[in-house]
């Protein structure tokens, strides 16, 4: 700790930080633009000028940039000094010279950092009356609007997009007053984190396109703290609603999980909530005729099914409460997994490994700290994108180390990058195809699953003699083993990443073996990050008995052992071969399907019961770490849908959480997530609406001039109202952050205990599983797939835009999605007579995919991305693709973001 | 080619000529990484092609495995890298302080009158492109301008006429 004097008052600060960061940590207001808490300082905008004094007697002082000055012991500065204030005012005046004062028509208005800083600096009269420079605005794809005239050239966009997120298609262009931030030509922004530009840009250059089309000011949005249901990371989000429709999603800071950034699937993949195709009424399908059911009829039906021993099939995309409610209705013995069997087996293993003392499940923040990483077979960019962004930061630890060794503060961003050049911490990737992280990887090894596991197990054996001995590898693969072992052995915070997305249990076993081998050697718990495909895969598994897989449930139904089933928010056709699902569902006498959108499974149902979307109910989800997080209800569902837990159990979510805590093994900490109303000021509820929320009395004036009673929320600590004590007092229910003078998302610093720290009184979630067990090495089981002549060994590709069931329905996401495609090597393609973009028959039974020839595919292997048109689980492990005359998907592969698309002649 | 970057583009790269490639390869030997070669490669291509088209930009980006957006950033930062076609000779005309004091404005009008082009324009016969430049470092002999590689000092209207005649029709 160091002591600095700011305007005559002494503060205790961290000398490793810069003055700007420390001033903000102390709650002082100091304007800034180019600095960002996650991206350090470059001193580009000159906005954070303060007066620095040599000592107590120095009355003159000199102007310095707070962001470029270390907060070292004894520093004396003044923020309030007249010269400093004048400088800040003049700087903003010059930055604003060509800024159009179009705030009334700008989407950023009302949450604009530039507005806030202008006001804070005192610059309120423009003297420049000449012509302003104007720019061409580019088409940047379905997510982002471009309005370059608003740019103040702070460079934050490219520092985030290129430097932080590894994007390559956005850059600063031209010079002096022509400086331009854009692509080299119009086109879709390639990075899957492009949406963060909306929040990173201090003004309205990059805005949320989908939101613009359905726009509402920040203060008119009803918000609540929510958790993204797009993948297993569980990023914290703030969805905003107005007039009954969900309008947008923004990042909500959580120091351990997502920090300041979320991926584009999470940000743009939500408008299925507003879809006209939502299921609205409970319906009984009797003799091909649909009859609406009342709530009582549904309750009676469920009670009847319960008494008749119906089975329940859960869902990894549903909350703990929904799954628990179903389990408690049908009984634990009758509650089955809703995941594909292969994936579920991995999920089970992941749960077991999560109890093992040898490992540690790293949060996103901890992943960023790793100094050597081995990724085994999991394409995290497409399955858990936030993890990929964190891995991208981990490779920069070498740079931080070099900076520290050279006495350069790590927040000196440009200097540290200059120093490090291409030096990176090792990141080794084993994958079936080239990935989006390859550009920062030290090794990229494209191999079959079997060889990936073999390499990883050989690494384990190399690191510890206790690990299972492995068969000798080819010299080429052995060379990889040597390098990876060396990286991991030399690391202080090694990290192994794998996951269940491919349904390849051998990969996860191998990952655990490598981590255990490192633990043998280092004798500390080793970071083992095992991601899954869906928001609550982990939570669902915790509720399941080991033997209750989906295959077992389908078997029981098709054999007639049970006649009745309840399926919770799950399209089973995505989970097993269509033949198996048909056999089971056709045989069921009663099939009750709860879901929010129609699926092939609801089409088979005898009774369809409509459920609410993630923003319409309160619920908890368990992320890949085993971290349970509470997601509040944002708005009410205006039609007959109810939360699944309400249909199945009771209407009081608190009671279900409480019961789940007590009854379900491993969930005992779940109820501690619930805030008590007694912890709020005067026992008052926290309003979901801002204090400026406008038009409440007029919202439905087109229908009725009488103002209805505000809807009540009896169970939550939040209210559907603007009255009450706003979240200012308690950040644990912080929806949209706001603080006096800070209307933009930068106001988050006012809620952090220090910059980049935890939210005051914050809630980062609860790690549910205790690590109490000591496990052993897992014996690899090689089950070599027989590949006949002309066949290719099949791996699975997933896509961030398309592989997730619900977000794939979102309009913006659909514009980025592709149809099914088969990646194959140029050699195999030419041997099979397949050209780029051809329709390819996969197995002769009608499954068609588009050929995507990729220069780095391994010969003899192929990787397949499927959408719902392909019966994936009916495909064998090796296929013989052939050119098809049949027309395939009408979606072209042009939007596919891959680095190794093969072009003839290159 | 090992290419880690994704450069989705509506346009297609042209093929670099053997001469261009040879010169770029030479520059590669002189620098630690390709990023540093980018500017040299732009200059080389401009020398051979007269300017840097989108197709040339893509070709260099592909050849050096550089992000096209970054390379465009370099190309547009330097105003002597031409991203639009220019005439056979480029007139770089100084309109900075010393030249202004010494009456460059009237010389500029004279050029505009005789050639029919203002700053940023190319003559219809494609002989000359007329571009302003902040300083050519020869203030004691202002006003000055460059035509191609040659510097011309102490400009007067008559001298400009001679210079233009001297270059017209030559490659």
CATH number of the domain to which A50 belongs: 3.10.20.740
B62 CB within 8 Å of a chain A CB: yes
- Report whether pLDDT(A236) > 90: yes
**pLDDT at residue A581 greater than cutoff 90:** yes
Asked if B6's CB is within 8 angstroms of A173's CB, the reply is no
Residues facing A208 on adjacent strands? A144
Asked if residue A369 and residue A334 are part of one domain, the reply reads no
Nearest CA in chain A to B1: A906
Do B32 and B60 sit in the same domain of this protein?
A: yes
Nearest to A829 by CA among A796, A801, A855: A855
Residue with tokens 């179903």: A326
Mean pLDDT is lowest, of A558-562, A783-787, B79-83, for A783-787
Name A232's Cβ contacts closer than 8 Å, sequence gap at least 6: A383, A384, A531, A532, A533, A534, A535, A537, A538, A623, A624
Query: Which of A171, A421, A900 lies nearest to residue B69, judging by beta carbons?
Result: A171
Residues A470, A572 within the same domain: no
B12 to chain A, any CB pair closer than 8 A? The answer is no
Averaged over A331-347, what is the pLDDT?
Answer: 97
Give the pLDDT of residue A904. 66
Claim to verify: residue B24 and residue B64 sit in the same structural domain:
yes
Domain boundary among B77, B97, B113: B77
Contact A813/A801 with Cβ under 8 angstroms? yes
Evaluate whether residue B48 is within a structural domain. Answer: yes
Instruction: Give pLDDT, residue B6.
Output: 53
Residues A407 and A520 in one domain: yes
Determine the residue of chain B that is closest to A894 in CA distance: B8
Q: Which residues pair with A289 in a beta bridge?
A: A286
Q: Residue B1's pLDDT is what?
A: 35
Give pLDDT tens digits for A187-234: 999 999 999 999 999 999 999 999 999 999 999 999 999 999 999 999
Instruction: Compute the nearest-CA separation of B170 from chain A (Å).
Output: 32
Query: Tell me, what's the pLDDT at B163?
Result: 94
CA–CA min distance B165, chain A (Å): 34
> Ramachandran region of residue A331, left (φ > 0), alpha (ψ -120 to 50) or beta?
left
In a domain, B130, yes or no: yes
B54 touches chain A (CB under 8 A): yes
Statement: residue A762 has pLDDT above 90: no
Pick the residue from chain A with its C-alpha nearest to B77. A174
Q: What is the mean pLDDT of residues A375-382?
A: 97
Quick one: pLDDT at residue B7? 54
Are B116 and B65 in the same domain? Answer: no
Residue A686 within any structural domain of the chain: no
Convert A859-876 to b/e letters by CB count within 10 Å (16 or more is b).
eebbbbbbbeebbbbebe
CA distance A561 to A285: 23
Domain around A840: 792-883
What the block records as the tokens of A307 is: 């008494």
The separation between CA A255 and the C-alpha centre of its own chain, rounded to angstroms, equals 14
Residues A20, A35 contacting (CB under 8 angstroms) = yes
Say how many Å lie between the first and final Cα of chain A, rounded: 57
Closest alpha carbon to A495 in A418, A563, A394? A394
Q: Let me know if residue A375 belongs to a domain.
A: yes
Q: Does B108 map to a domain?
A: yes
CB A611, CB A298: distance < 8 Å:
no
- Host domain of residue B98: 89-167
Q: In angstroms, rounded to a whole number, what is the distance separating the alpha carbons of residues A465 and A775?
A: 16
Chain A: residue whose CA lies nearest to B36 = A421
User: What CATH number should be reported for the domain holding residue B103?
Assistant: 3.40.30.10
Supply φ then ψ for residue A499, to 5 degrees. 175, 180
Within 13 A of A176's CA, how many CA atoms are on the CB side? Answer: 4
What is the 8-class DSSP label of residue A731? G
* Residue A392 with chain B: CB contacts under 8 Å: none
Is there a single domain that holds both residue A335 and residue A458? Answer: no
Residues A421 and A306 in one domain: no
Q: Does A419 share its domain with A310?
A: no
User: Is residue B29 domain-resident?
Assistant: yes
Q: From A444, which residue of chain B is nearest by alpha-carbon distance? A: B4
CATH at residue A837: 2.40.40.20
Q: Which helix (H) or strand (E) holds A883?
A: strand A882-883
Interchain CB distance below 8 Å, A183 and B69: yes
| Cβ–Cβ below 8 Å for B33 and A422 | yes
The reply to whether B82 falls in a domain is no
The answer to whether A278 and A610 are in contact (CB under 8 A) is yes
Examine the domain organization and report whether A454 and A543 are in the same domain.
no
Q: Which residues of chain A neighbour B67 with C-beta distances below 8 Å?
A: 162, 168-169, 171
Q: Which of B6, B62, B76 sits opposite A897 (nearest CB)?
A: B6
pLDDT at A890: 63
Contacts of A178 in chain B (CB under 8 A): 76
3-state secondary structure labels for all residues of B114-152: HHCCCCCEECCCCCEEEEEECCCCCHHHCCCEEECCEEE
Nearest to B5 among A173, A421, A439 (CB): A439
SS (H, E, C) A315-333: CCCCCHHHHHHHHHHHCHH
- Reported as a pLDDT band with limits 50, 70 and 90, residue A834 is very high
- CA distance to partner chain A, nearest, from residue B109 (Å): 24
Cβ distance B8 to A180 less than 8 Å, yes or no, reads no
Closest CA in chain B for residue A901: B6
The minimum CA-CA distance between A88 and chain B, rounded to whole Å, is: 28
Question: What pLDDT sits at residue A730?
Answer: 64
Inter-chain residue contact B54 with A185, CB threshold 8 Å? yes
| Total domains, chain A | 4
Cβ pair A168:B57 closer than 8 A:
no
Measure CB to CB from residue A169 to each of B10, B57, B67 and give the nearest one. Answer: B67
Residue A362 has pLDDT above 80, yes or no: yes
Instruction: Rank A280-289, A543-552, A839-848 by mean pLDDT and report only the highest.
Output: A543-552
Is residue A75 in some structural domain? yes
Residue of B nearest to A896 (CA): B8
Q: How far apart are CA A463 and CA A453, in angstroms?
A: 15
Instruction: Starting at the earlier edge strand, list the strands of the sheet with A607-610.
Output: A289-292, A283-286, A607-610, A590-595, A564-568, A311-313, A335-336
- Cβ of B73 under 8 Å from any chain A Cβ? yes
End-to-end CA distance of chain B, in Å? 37
The answer to the question of residue A599 being in a domain is yes
Which of A158, A167, A168 should we substitute to test contact with B (largest number of B Cβ atoms within 10 Å)? A168
Q: What is the pLDDT of residue B4?
A: 47
Task: Classify residue A716 as left (phi > 0), alpha (psi -120 to 50) or beta.
Answer: beta
Give the distance from CA B5 to its chain's centroid: 28
Least-confidence region, from A150-159, A284-293, B99-108: A284-293
For chain A, say whether B1 makes contact (Cβ under 8 Å): yes
Mutate to test the interface with B, among A136, A140, A163, A184 (most CBs of B within 10 A): A184
- Which tens digits make up the pLDDT trace of A471-523? 999 999 999 999 999 999 999 999 999 999 999 999 999 999 999 999 998 88
Contacts of B33 in chain A (CB under 8 A): 421-422
In a domain, A122, yes or no: no
To the nearest whole Å, the CA of A718 is away from the closest chain B CA by: 45
Residue A83 burial by Cβ neighbours in a 10 Å radius (0-12, 13-18, 19+)? middle
Three-class SS of residue A590?
A: strand
Q: Is residue B58 part of a domain?
A: yes
pLDDT tops 80 at residue A896: yes
Check if the beta carbon of residue A859 is closer than 8 Å to that of residue A831: no
Rg (alpha carbons) of chain A, rounded to whole number:
28
Instruction: Indicate if B58 and B113 belong to the same structural domain.
Output: no
Which residue among B31, B55, B77 closes a domain? B77
**pLDDT score at A843:** 80
Give the minimum alpha-carbon distance from B40 to chain A in angstroms, rounded to a whole number. Answer: 17
Reported as half-sphere exposure (CB side, CA atoms, 13 A), residue A795 has a value of 29
- Closest-CA distance, A459 to chain B, in angstroms, reads 26
- Final residue of a structural domain among A498, A524, A550: A524
Q: Are residues B93 and B162 in the same domain?
A: yes
Least Cα distance to A198 among A163, A166, A235, A150 occurs for A150
Neighbours of A495 (CB within 10 A): 27
Residue A139 to residue B134: CA distance in whole angstroms: 34
Query: Which residue of A173, A900, A906 is in closest CB contact with B72?
Result: A173
Shared domain for B62 and B119, answered yes or no, is no
B83, part of any domain:
no
Residues from chain B that touch A855, judged by Cβ atoms under 8 A, are 1
Structural domain includes residue A410: yes
Q: What is the DSSP string of A379-435?
A: -HHHHSHHHHHHHHHHTTHHHHHHHHHTT--TTBHHHHHHHHTT----EEEEESS--
Mutate to test the interface with A, among B1, B2, B4 (most CBs of A within 10 A): B4
Mutate to test the interface with A, among B61, B73, B83 (most CBs of A within 10 A): B73
Ranges under pLDDT 50 in chain B: 1-4
Same domain as A502, residue A377: yes
Which among A62, A95, A128 is the end of a domain? A95
Number of domains in chain B: 2
- Shared domain check, A484 and A335: no
Instruction: Please identify, among A524, A559, A583, the residue that sits at the C-terminal boundary of a domain.
Output: A524
Percent of the residues in chain A that have a pLDDT greater than 70, as a whole number = 98
Shortest distance, CA A182 to any CA of chain B (angstroms): 8
CA distance B119 to A482: 62
CB contact under 8 A, A899 and B57: no
A842 is a domain residue: yes
Write the CA distances from B144 to B107, B116, B131, B167, B168, integer angstroms.
10, 20, 13, 16, 19
Question: Is the pTM for the entire model greater than 0.90?
Answer: yes
Nearest-CA distance B17 → chain A (Å): 14
Q: Give the pLDDT score at A696.
A: 85
Looking at the structure, tell me whether residues B103 and B151 fall in a common domain: yes
pLDDT band at A108 (very low <50, low <70, confident <90, very high): very high
Separation between Cα atoms, residue A153 and residue A95, nearest integer Å = 8
Report which DSSP code applies to A257. Answer: T
């Amino acid at each position: 700790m160091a002591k600095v004097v700011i305007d005559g008052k002494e503060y205790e600060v961290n000398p490793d930080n810069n003055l700007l960061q420390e001033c903000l940590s102390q709650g002082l207001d100091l304007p800034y633009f180019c600095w960002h808490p996650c991206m350090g300082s470059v001193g580009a905008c000159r906005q954070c000028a303060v007066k620095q004094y040599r000592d107590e007697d120095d009355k003159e002082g000199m102007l310095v940039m707070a962001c470029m000055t270390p907060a070292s012991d004894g520093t004396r500065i003044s923020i309030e000094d007249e010269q400093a204030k004048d400088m800040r005012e003049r700087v903003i005046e010059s930055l604003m010279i060509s800024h159009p004062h179009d705030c009334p028509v700008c989407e950023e208005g009302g949450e604009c950092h530039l507005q806030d800083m202008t006001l804070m600096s005192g610059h309120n009269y423009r003297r420049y009356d000449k012509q302003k420079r104007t720019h061409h605005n580019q088409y940047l794809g379905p997510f982002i609007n471009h309005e370059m005239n608003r740019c103040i050239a702070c460079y934050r966009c490219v520092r985030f997009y290129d430097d932080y997120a590894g994007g390559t298609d956005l850059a600063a262009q031209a010079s002096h007053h022509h400086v331009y931030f854009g692509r080299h030509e119009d086109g879709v922004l390639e990075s899957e984190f492009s949406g963060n530009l909306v929040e990173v840009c201090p003004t309205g250059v990059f805005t949320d396109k989908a939101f613009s089309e359905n726009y509402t000011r920040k203060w008119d949005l009803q918000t609540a703290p929510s958790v993204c249901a797009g993948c297993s990371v569980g990023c914290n989000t703030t969805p905003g609603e107005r007039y009954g429709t969900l309008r947008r999603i923004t990042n909500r800071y959580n120091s351990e999980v997502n920090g300041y950034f979320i991926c584009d699937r999470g940000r743009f993949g939500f408008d299925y909530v507003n879809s006209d195709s939502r299921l609205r009424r409970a319906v009984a399908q009797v003799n091909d005729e649909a009859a609406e059911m009342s709530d009582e009829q549904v309750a009676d039906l469920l009670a009847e099914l319960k008494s008749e021993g119906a089975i329940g099939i859960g869902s990894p995309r549903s909350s703990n409460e929904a799954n628990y409610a179903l389990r408690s209705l049908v009984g634990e013995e009758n509650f089955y997994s809703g995941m594909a069997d292969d994936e579920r087996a991995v999920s089970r293993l992941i749960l077991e490994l999560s109890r093992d003392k040898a490992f540690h499940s790293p949060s996103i923040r901890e992943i960023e700290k790793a100094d050597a990483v081995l990724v085994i077979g999991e394409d995290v960019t497409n399955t858990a994108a936030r993890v990929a962004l964190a891995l991208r930061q981990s490779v920069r630890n070498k740079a931080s180390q070099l900076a520290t060794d050279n006495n350069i503060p790590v927040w000196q961003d440009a200097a540290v990058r200059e120093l490090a050049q291409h030096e990176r911490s090792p990141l080794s990737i084993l994958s079936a195809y080239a990935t989006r992280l390859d550009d920062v990887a030290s090794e990229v090894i494209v191999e079959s699953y079997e060889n990936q596991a073999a390499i990883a197990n050989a690494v384990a054996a190399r690191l510890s003699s206790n690990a299972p001995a492995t068969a000798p590898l080819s010299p080429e693969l052995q060379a990889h083993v040597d390098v990876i072992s060396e990286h991991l052995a030399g690391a202080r915070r090694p990290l192994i990443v794998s996951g269940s997305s491919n349904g390849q249990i051998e990969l996860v076993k191998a990952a655990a073996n490598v981590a255990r081998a490192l633990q043998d050697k280092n004798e500390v718990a080793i970071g083992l990050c095992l991601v899954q495909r869906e928001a609550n895969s982990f939570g669902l598994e915790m509720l399941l008995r080991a033997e209750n897989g989906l295959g077992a449930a389908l078997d029981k139904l098709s054999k007639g052992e049970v006649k009745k089933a309840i399926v919770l928010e799950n399209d089973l056709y995505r989970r097993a071969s269509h033949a198996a699902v048909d056999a089971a569902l056709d045989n069921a006498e009663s099939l009750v399907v709860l879901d929010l959108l129609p699926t092939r499974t609801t089409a088979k149902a005898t009774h369809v019961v409509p459920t609410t979307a993630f923003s319409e109910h309160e619920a908890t989800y368990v992320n890949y770490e085993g971290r349970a997080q509470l997601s509040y209800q944002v708005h009410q569902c205006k039609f007959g849908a109810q939360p699944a837990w309400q249909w199945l159990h009771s209407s009081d979510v608190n009671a279900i959480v409480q019961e789940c805590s007590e009854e379900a093994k491993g969930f005992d900490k779940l109820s501690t997530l619930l805030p008590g109303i007694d912890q709020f000021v005067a026992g008052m509820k926290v309003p979901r609406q801002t204090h400026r929320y406008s038009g409440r009395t007029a919202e439905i004036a087109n229908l009725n001039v009488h103002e209805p009673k505000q809807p009540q929320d009896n169970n939550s600590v939040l209210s559907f109202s603007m009255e009450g004590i706003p979240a200012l007092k308690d950040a644990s229910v912080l929806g949209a952050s706001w603080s006096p003078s800070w209307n933009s998302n930068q106001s988050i610093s006012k809620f952090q205990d220090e910059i980049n720290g935890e939210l005051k009184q914050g809630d980062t979630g609860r790690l549910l599983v205790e690590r109490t067990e000591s496990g052993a090495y897992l014996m690899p089981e090689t089950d070599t797939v027989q590949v006949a002549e002309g066949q290719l060994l099949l791996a699975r590709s997933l896509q961030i835009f398309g592989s997730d069931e619900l977000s794939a329905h979102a309009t913006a996401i659909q514009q980025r999605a592709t149809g099914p495609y088969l990646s194959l090597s140029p050699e195999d393609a030419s041997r099979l007579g397949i050209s780029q973009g051809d329709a390819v028959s996969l197995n002769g039974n009608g499954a068609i995919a588009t050929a995507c020839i990729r220069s780095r595919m391994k010969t003899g292997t192929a990787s397949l991305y499927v959408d719902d048109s392909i019966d994936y689980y009916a495909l064998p492990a090796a296929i013989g693709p052939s050119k098809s005359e049949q027309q395939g998907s009408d979606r072209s592969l042009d939007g596919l973001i891959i680095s190794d698309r093969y072009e003839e002649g290159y | 080619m090992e290419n880690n970057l994704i450069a989705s583009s509506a346009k297609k790269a042209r093929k670099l000529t053997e001469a261009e490639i040879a010169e770029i390869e030479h520059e590669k030997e002189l620098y630690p990484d390709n990023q540093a070669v980018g500017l040299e490669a732009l200059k080389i291509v401009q020398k051979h092609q007269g300017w840097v088209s989108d197709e040339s930009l893509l070709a260099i980006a592909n050849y050096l495995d550089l992000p096209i957006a970054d390379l465009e950033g370099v190309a547009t930062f330097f105003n002597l890298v031409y991203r639009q076609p220019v005439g056979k000779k480029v007139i770089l005309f100084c309109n900075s302080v010393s030249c202004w004091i010494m009456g460059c404005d009237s010389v500029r009008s004279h050029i505009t009158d005789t050639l029919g082009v203002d700053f940023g324009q190319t003559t219809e016969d494609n002989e000359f492109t007329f571009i302003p430049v902040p300083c050519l470092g020869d203030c004691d002999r202002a006003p000055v301008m460059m035509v191609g590689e040659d510097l011309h000092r102490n400009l007067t209207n008559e001298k400009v006429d001679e210079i233009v005649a001297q270059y017209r029709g030559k490659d």
